[in-house]
Structure 1
Amino acid sequence: MEVAPTTSGVVIRHSKHPESGTITFSLPAWSAFVAEACDGLTSTNGVATITPMGADTLVRSVQTGVELRFDQAEWSAFVAGALDGEFNFAGHLAATPS
């Protein structure tokens, strides 16, 4: 998964399948998404759902229908990075001029 902070939030895409599209999160929605991914919670971020599909995980935009499917190793790597704070962009976004 490629994760990129922007001036107003965070954008993700599948690094192996960039043609699948992107999903854009506001910072509050991103924080909720990361917490949901780490805790295996039901999606309440309002931007994307997280659905286990066998060994894979499907992340689907509720607004655009973009679907990003990650295998077990890819999703596990994302969750491990999230647990380590790798995707906490609050400080970056606060320091970025509008």
Structure 2
Amino acid sequence: MRADAVLGPAGDGFGAAQAAEFVEFEIGYDDVAELDRLASIHGGDRSAFLSEAIRVMGARERAVRLQMLQERIHAAIGGPRASEQVTADVRQVLKGT
């Protein structure tokens, strides 16, 4: 398949078809059956499944980074704050006290 080939089923809910690049990789024999089972959720389309897996794993990674950031912020300010406390803190800063 050419790198400039256009893939994507019509009406996939993701708008226009996207340009694609052929990527080759190996998976273990035991994982092939699981890949095919999971891909069957997407009509047997391994590419559609892998695209969805990339989106899900990206969202998961961003959630972990956000949680780590929140933990660092909470450590720096002495713990999580209720929204009322945040509002009071902002008012205090705006007043310059």
Which structure has the larger Rg?
Answer: 2
Higher RCO (CA-CA < 8 Å; seq separation 6+): 1
TM-score, length-scaled by structure 1:
0.26
Whose strand proportion is higher, 1 or 2? 1
Whose helix proportion is higher, 1 or 2? 2
